[in-house]
Chain A
Amino acid sequence: MSSTREAYGAALTELAEKYEFFVFDADLSKATQTIHFAKKYPDRFTDMGIAECNMMGYAAGYAASGAVVFASTFAAFAAGRAYDQIRNSIAYPNLNVKIAATHGGVLIGADGGSHQCVEDLALMRAVPNMTILYPADTIETKKCVEEAINHKGPVYLRFGRLDSPEIYTEKKDCRASIGKGTLLREGQDLTIVAAGDLVSRALEAAKEMEKNGICADVIDMASVKPVDAELLLDSVRKTGCAVTAEDHNILGGLGGAVSEVLSKNYPVPVEMVGIQDMFGCSGTPKELAEHYGLTIENIVAAAHRVIRRKEGKS
């Protein structure tokens, strides 16, 4: 049990021996967990102070000189504040910058709406050349960080703040890579597609429903862009309906990505569990999950709704 931001910090330190890369942070190294890398590899770390736009520019300058670079801050200050720098200085020239954004979504807790980025996936999905990886646990985080290092071009990595259950016990079980998700559980009644913190809840929801004889495919869609269309379509051709689950606005995030693939290739009913186009607020993660509808119960309810729609009952 740990958070994906902690896993990110650990992955950087671990992978630093195998790969040559540099890390930037903007005065949040304790929160983003890049501090561990900074301590061990001070020659490869730079704190840019509270200046995210300039940090993205430095990262672009490094990448234009041939380096692989991670630029870390909160999602709100990366995809949000530094959007134009990511767009013009990094994505447009297709530079090798990995934007590592922690604290995505509302489940980060008490910081409130200013810090809870509910739209980063939507913003980053719409930027050409951008790849998005959103891991769910420690093993997957390390895989995604390594995948990002080996990918030539910009990657947006989204990490959570909450401690969340480990999904994978062994690396080989995690298929996450660019364009690939993992089928965690098999069923025939519906497909649940989740990412990040909501993956463990999706699994719990599937277990809960099994007691009532409803069996779900559960997909961990760590590759939000490009989404794993093949895995998704294989599943939905079998189940005939889908629920998406994410700690993000239902507009433009994972729900949007899944719906785009399905509407074009195999239209079926889709229900989205996510933030209903609202800003966040202060609260405990548990209170926030209930307030914004991100609980196991919300996923179960969405599953029942989507099955009813599939059966033409509502």
Chain B
Amino acid sequence: MRQQNSVEEIIRHAQQIRRNTIISLHSAGSGHPGGALSMVEIIAVLYFYEMNISPDKPEEMNRDRFVLSKGHAAPAYYAALAERGYFEKSALTTLRKMGSMLQGHPDMKKVPGVDMSTGSLGQGISAACGMAHYAKKTGKDYRVYCIIGDGEMQEGQVWEAFMSAGHFKLDNLVVFLDNNNLQIDGRVDEVMSIYPVKEKLQAFGWHVEETDGHNVKGLIETLDRVRQVRDQPAFIIGKTTKGKGVSFMENQAGWHGAAINDEQFEQAMKELGEACV
């Protein structure tokens, strides 16, 4: 079922997800903090407000689906799933370790609640479109949610997916762009510009919204609005900050993929409040 928590409750969950993301990445000794932190509010709103899901029945046929197309942001995804009750939070410190279900990138065969394995950029969005198309073809009324990265939009397959979702009028599909404007080699607009995004997506037949990707209230209002859209897939550009919430990680491309040392961990946790797990 949909939880439709209050804004305050979702902000609290988001903060827990952010802390647990840092804890698991510190424990792993490698991984991708920047792009995980930038999507925390988006994923918190999906799991604690928007999606019709039952953590005790992760395979239930009519559940809403979620695909993390930017699979490297897995730590925040796992933290959100644990926060929502799909598995014990104690598992989060096994991230990226031998024998763990929490692989470096999401594995649907291992993790309860993961609807699609992702990691190779550009592919998750096609699978999300396929899930939404399947619902249309078979008369099911579940909705499909997906988060893509802005650097990921440089992959050609993403545009094949955009074209097809517009063509098939997949109004049961909502794709978020985690628009932090940073990728490994620098600023997205400098490495290989994807802009203007809004006009491009509109030209592909999508309903496009822009919002602050860290503003829970704004995200909820946007999701409520796009739920009413008919005959068009929805694209929500979430303006975000890479590394959001940890001062020395914010807006630093270097924190796309980097290990968190003990000193940095102490400082990050101080900024985020007390530890969880």
Contact = CB atoms under 8 A, between A and B. Distances in A.
Q: Which of A43, A56, A89 has the most CB of B within 10 A?
A: A89
Given A60-B126, A93-B117, A65 B135 contact: yes
Q: How large is the interface on B (under 10, 10 to 19, 20 to 34, 35 or more residues)?
A: 20 to 34
Contact of A54 (B107, B134, B138, B157): B157
A124 B107 CA distance: 21
Contact of A57 (B126, B135, B156): B126
Contacts, number: 101
Nearest to A56: B126
Interface in B119-134: 119-120, 122-134
Contact of A61 (B122, B130, B156, B163): B130
Nearest to A85: B123
Contact of A51 (B109, B118, B137, B160): B160
Given A48-B164, A51-B164, A88-B117, A57 B107 contact: no
Contacts of B116: 60-61, 64, 89, 93
Contact of B133 (A56, A61, A93): A61
Contact of B129 (A58, A67, A84): A58
Contact of A84 (B61, B120, B133): B120
Main secondary structure of the interface of B (DSSP, over half): helix
Interface residues of A, number: 28
Given A54-B160, A61-B131, A88-B117, 15 more contacts: A22-B134, A46-B137, A51-B163, A53-B126, A54-B126, A54-B157, A58-B129, A58-B133, A61-B116, A65-B130, A65-B131, A67-B134, A84-B123, A87-B120, A88-B118
Interface of B: 61, 65, 107-109, 115-120, 122-135, 137-138, 156-157, 160-161, 163-164, 167
Q: Which 7 interchain pairs have the tightest Cβ spacing?
A: A61-B130, A57-B126, A58-B130, A54-B160, A51-B160, A61-B127, A93-B117
30 contacts: A49-B164, A49-B167, A51-B164, A53-B160, A54-B126, A54-B163, A57-B124, A57-B127, A57-B157, A57-B161, A58-B126, A58-B127, A60-B123, A60-B126, A61-B116, A61-B126, A61-B128, A61-B130, A61-B131, A62-B130, A62-B131, A62-B134, A64-B115, A64-B116, A64-B130, A85-B157, A89-B117, A89-B123, A89-B127, A93-B116
